[in-house]
Amino acid sequence: MGDGQITVTLTADEALVLSDWLERLQMTDLCRAVDDDDPAVWAPIHKISGTLDKSLPGLFAADYHEQLAAARQRLRPES
């Protein structure tokens, strides 16, 4: 692999839901799912999380939770 870069494209809904999940991962016991002793694992997680934080204008909006709930609903497959 080396020095090549990978580009991932997400919809705004996907980015919002992923950003929320990554935040919860980093702030809760879910972090046990990631090897705490290996900074190489956390480096890309922090990079993705930081990029999403900068790209999502509504993270600190008063209606953030409503936006997140709506994004989750739109991403769920219809049954």
Task: Answer yes or no: is 19 within a domain.
Answer: yes
Residue whose token pair is 């809760």: 28
pLDDT score of 79: 64
Task: Answer yes or no: is 4 within a domain.
Answer: no
Task: Answer yes or no: is 70 within a domain.
Answer: yes
Residues in the chain with pLDDT values less than 70: 1-2, 29-31, 33-37, 79
Q: Angle 4-5-11 (CA atoms, 0-180°, nearest 5)?
A: 160
pLDDT score of 69: 96
Domain that holds residue 17: 12-75
Task: Answer yes or no: is 40 within a domain.
Answer: yes
Instruction: Report the SS3 class of residue 10.
Output: coil
Q: What is the reported pTM?
A: 0.80
Is there a contact between 67 and 59 (Cβ–Cβ < 8 Å)? no
pLDDT score of 23: 87
Task: Answer yes or no: is 5 within a domain.
Answer: no
pLDDT score of 43: 85
pLDDT score of 17: 96
Task: Answer yes or no: is 33 within a domain.
Answer: yes
pLDDT score of 30: 60
What total of structural domains would you count in the chain? 1
Q: Angle 11-14-20 (CA atoms, 0-180°, nearest 5)?
A: 140
